[in-house]
């Protein structure tokens, strides 16, 4: 039977899953990643706190471990991420920086990390979660200190360090047409007009059954494609209020196939990445107590209805 990765490849796409470093030690779990998928994203290993724990001191141990695993198993790697308001090192968040200082810190970080992974990752989430729900810019340390120009600069610095890697903006709650995705639409249109290197828009797709399926997802993907960028589903999971039951699992399966269909309907939707793959390892219970069961494999690594639904949709 073809794997999810192979089924996606037949459509010219990839099908990946995120993995965090400690999970590689869970051998039956890690084996599944190598077997079923053709792409992966480090869940934490390439974030700023991991890659530059002291100013100017770089540590690529965690990211390299995942790159090496991926290489051994024939998976390609999405880089995640170059800047975000979370998981920044203490030296960065506790410092007081002038605009020029922070620009040079950001440039140095991006340059070192992108050069290190040149040829090893096919895409980067350059700027992660930079918009608020209402479509205004998130007041992260970079916005507060530098202003909105940090976004174009980050893209230009990443491009200079690796002219071939695909550069993405990435966020959650942007799967539907709405104020937040509208803000990205306007921003990307502007960046394109200004000849800033931007190749793609990442829709994380952390969905929850209790909030409803994102409105007009396919049309939303389509409008970004028409701007001349790729779209990727970058962190897909579909959580529910626990306990799970047959009806919720059936609805979850239906949503997994709807997301897959929405991507397959648009040529420039280049691939789908799950944020983990089994309920054994997921970020959700720690962040949303009482919710979970969000992935296509259960805690015992058995297929859930969602798994078959994705396969059906890819065929």
Interface residues toward ligand G3I, by CB under 6 A: 20, 43-44, 86-87, 128, 204, 235, 283
Record the tokens describing residue 202, joined without a space.
């990442």
Nearest alpha-carbon partner for 33 in 16, 45, 50: 16
Nearer to ligand G3I, 54 or 87 (CB): 87
Nearer to ligand G3I, 170 or 257 (CB): 170
d(CA 231, CA 166): 11
Record the tokens describing residue 215, joined without a space.
């409105």
Nearer to ligand G3I, 114 or 284 (CB): 284
As measured in angstroms, the least distance from the Cβ of 204 to ligand G3I is: 5
Q: Which long-range contacts (CB under 8 A, 24 or more apart) does 299-303 make?
A: 301/28, 301/29, 301/32
Nearer to ligand G3I, 20 or 254 (CB): 20
As measured in angstroms, the least distance from the Cβ of 188 to ligand G3I is: 19
Nearest alpha-carbon partner for 187 in 162, 160, 142, 150: 150
As measured in angstroms, the least distance from the Cβ of 108 to ligand G3I is: 22
Other Cβ atoms closer than 10 A to 35: 11
Q: How do the residues of the chain divide into helix, strand and coil, expressed in percent and rounded to 5?
A: 45, 20, 35
As measured in angstroms, the least distance from the Cβ of 235 to ligand G3I is: 5
As measured in angstroms, the least distance from the Cβ of 206 to ligand G3I is: 6
Record the tokens describing residue 30, joined without a space.
């890690």
Nearer to ligand G3I, 175 or 235 (CB): 235
The residue at minimum Cβ distance from ligand G3I is: 283
Of 235, 291, 299, 312, the catalytic one is: 235
Residue 139 among the catalytic residues = no
As measured in angstroms, the least distance from the Cβ of 287 to ligand G3I is: 6
Nearest alpha-carbon partner for 294 in 168, 219, 209: 209
Provide CB contacts within 8 A for 233, sequence distance 6+. Answer: 202, 203, 205, 259, 263, 269, 271, 272, 273
Provide CB contacts within 8 A for 243, sequence distance 6+. Answer: none
Nearer to ligand G3I, 278 or 313 (CB): 278
Record the tokens describing residue 285, joined without a space.
């219970």
| Active site amino acids | 235
């Amino acid at each position: 039977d073809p794997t999810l990765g192979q089924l996606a490849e037949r459509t010219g796409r990839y099908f990946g899953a995120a993995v965090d470093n400690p999970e590689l030690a869970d051998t039956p779990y890690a084996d599944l990643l190598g077997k079923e998928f053709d792409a992966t994203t480090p869940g934490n290993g390439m974030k700023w706190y991991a890659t530059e724990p002291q100013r100017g001191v770089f540590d690529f141990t965690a990211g390299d471990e995942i790159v090496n695993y991926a290489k051994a198993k024939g998976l390609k790697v999405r880089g995640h991420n170059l800047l975000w308001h979370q998981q920044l090192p203490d030296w960065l968040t506790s410092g007081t920086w002038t605009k020029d200082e922070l620009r040079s810190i950001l440039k140095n970080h991006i340059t070192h990390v992108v050069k290190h992974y040149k040829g090893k990752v096919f895409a980067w989430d350059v700027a992660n979660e930079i918009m608020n729900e209402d479509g205004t810019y998130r007041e992260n340390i970079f916005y507060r200190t530098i202003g909105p120009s940090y976004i174009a600069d980050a893209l230009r610095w990443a491009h200079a360090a690796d002219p071939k890697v695909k550069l993405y903006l990435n966020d959650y709650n942007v799967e539907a047409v709405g104020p937040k995705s509208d803000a990205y639409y306007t921003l990307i249109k502007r960046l394109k007009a200004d000849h800033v290197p931007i190749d793609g828009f990442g829709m994380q797709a952390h969905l929850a059954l209790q909030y409803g399926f994102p409105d007009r997802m396919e049309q939303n993907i389509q409008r970004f494609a028409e701007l001349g960028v790729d779209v990727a589903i970058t962190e897909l999971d579909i959580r529910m209020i626990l306990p799970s039951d047959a009806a919720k699992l059936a609805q979850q399966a239906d949503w997994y196939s709807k997301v897959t269909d929405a991507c397959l309907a648009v040529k420039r939707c280049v691939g789908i990445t799950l944020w983990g793959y089994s309920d054994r390892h997921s970020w959700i219970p720690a962040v949303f107590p009482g919710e979970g069961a969000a992935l296509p494999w259960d805690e015992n690594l058995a297929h859930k209805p969602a798994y078959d639904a994705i396969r059906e949709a890819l065929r």
